[in-house]
A and B are shown apart, each in its own frame.
Chain A
Amino acid sequence: MGMLIRIAWRNIWRHKTRSFVVLGAISLGIWSLIFLLSFSRGLIYNLIDNSIRREIGHVQVEHENYRQKREIGYLVEESARKVALMAADPAVEAVTRRLLVSGMVSSARGARGVQIWGVEPGEEGRVSFIREKITEGDFLPEGHSPPLLISGRLASRLGIQMKSKVVLTFQDLDGHITAGAFRVAGLFDSGTTPFDEGTVMVRREDLLVLTGGAERDPAHQLVAVVVHPDSAAAVRDRLTAVMAGDKVTTYREVAPEIALYESQIGMSNMIMITIFMLALIFGIINTMLMAVLERVRELGMLMAIGMNRRKVFLMVVLETLFLGLTAMPAGLILVEVSLAFFGQTGIDLRTFSEGMREYGMSEVVYPDPATDIYLRVSLSVVATAFLGALYPAWKAVRLKPVDALTKI
């Protein structure tokens, strides 16, 4: 066995150029595969994370009809008490409550239908990323006139800027049209066009003055982020037990497309690994067949002097495995280097960003290698090398020494 390993290893280096080409191809293949898989994962988590951090959070508490009907009357009452209940859960990182009404924002220039969020800036800033998305001004600072946060995009549509005055018009809890004046105190850019064009934020207490019903301590949505997305379901179950009457959901139920994306990651990984293995296997068969055919006489000699078929077979298989095993670390090093780089700086997709914004993604994607991806790709390479070796090895043992020796 020791001798076989020695021969097989040295045989690889007999045709240095060819071996380097094969090694280069395999390592580049490993690199591109892992990098692509990490990129697609980064892309999908970008999307998931964006919608979670922009809006929906991991766990939501709402009136059981709110999600379907979106009517102002479907309230969660005693919201402060319930927020405290949620915050007490060990897996919950942050909780906020929102009063949400549909209405209109109007300036001197025009008006737009929007969703008006009445938020509590301190808590909201810990749950959603909106605070980090503010491009100008502050997140609803306290002042003499009620502050409003609006996207830069919508502001320019309405011909307004910082400090401009706008009027919000909507129905109060009793069904009467009401209106209030707000002053633009901040501009944001969430990276998602539909959200930017359809959302404005004000302080919950300012909104509550206009909607009425403060004595019921109302909110439409209590939103929590949890330590890890995987614990969302457990948190939901625990909260359901204590939130009699209200409906507790997780991001998977609220945004089923996210659950779909998550399961698609696994699927697309399998497809890419399969395509890679197919390309690899033909490359390996080709190389090893060449290596066997140009050594016909040598193989004949080996069998003539007493090397049995099992050993000849093993020698060819070992040679192939060594090729794969040599290429693997090289490929993994490439992966490490490029992930170290792009993991820090991200991949800037600004060229396509208009399209990406529409889908609710941000412009910079950070490749996100799954923990098991190295193992899976490495095992695939070894398995492929092994499968690719079988045919050439079988060809080798089928040689008859006498024919092989007399081959010109």
Chain B
Amino acid sequence: MSMIVTTDLSRTYNPDTIPVHALRGVTLTIGSGEFTAIVGPSGSGKTTLLNLIGGLDTPSGGRVLVGGTDMSRLSGNALIDFRKNHIGFVFQSYNLIPVLTAYENAEFVMLLQGRPEKERRERVRALLAAVGLEAHMDRRPSQLSGGQQQRVAVARALAPRPDFILADEPTANLDSHSAENLLDMMARLNGEEGTTFLFSTHDQRVIDRARRVITLVDGEVAEDVRR
């Protein structure tokens, strides 16, 4: 079943001054349960694509359907709510709220959704255990390593059981060991929870773990390989 459908998606920055065609007609279908990497050189449009799919940015042309909902029809708080209820995000950095503990960070989106305390507690504890951080639940982000912070971010993204998780270069700031760890963990959770993962990277070891690799070059899909 298709989770994400992009149709002839394009995005041009600064259309009135010096236009930058970051995406030029990307048509893609991402199915439920996929573990897919978007790869490509720097500037090829990976971030732009993920932002459009995540409803953080609006396309210049084409459209994005997420579970049948046309993202371009949502705006303002409706869009924020849609993200809250359907999409998990893991960013490259500045993922966590510095004044909250690992536990509170992981709990955050569930709290926004107004889930009951018991459900939150069980879910967050299980996830923090799954990402190997049960011993560090009460630490603030500044007391965690970069890899640990990203794992908290993954736990937070997964906690509310979103339709899919978007991760834009989640390993960019990590050493290779932590990067592989994080990816192994994501892959495992993808298997256990069945959550769809769509992540961008240009790290070869990360690419090796993906089951589908979509290569972007100059804002166009150059290659789409399933393994």
Contacts and interface: CB of A to CB of B under 8 A. Distances in A.
Check if A and B associate. Answer: yes
Interface of A: 3, 6-7, 10-11, 13-14, 297-298, 301-311, 401-402, 405-406
A2 to B, nearest CB: 8
Interface stretch (B15-23, B31-39, B95-103, B176-184): B95-103
Contact of B83 (A3, A306, A405, A406): A306
Interface residues of B, number: 29
B77 A308 contact: yes
Contacts, number: 66
B68 interface: no
B157 to A, nearest CB: 8
A-side interface mostly: helix
B109 A306 contact: yes
A3 B100 CA distance: 9
A305 B76 CA distance: 13
Nearest to A301: B94
B85 interface: yes
Given A309-B76, A402-B56, A298 B83 contact: no
Contacts of B47: 406
Contacts of B76: 309
Contacts of B84: 305-308
A297 B56 contact: no
Contacts of B157: 305
Nearest to B56: A402
A14 B99 CA distance: 8
Nearest to B86: A306
Contact of A402 (B57, B85, B95): B57
Contacts of B199: none
Contacts of A13: 99
A7 B85 CA distance: 21
Contacts of B97: 7, 298, 302
A298 B80 contact: no
Given A298-B94, A402-B57, A7 B99 contact: yes
B81 to A, nearest CB: 7
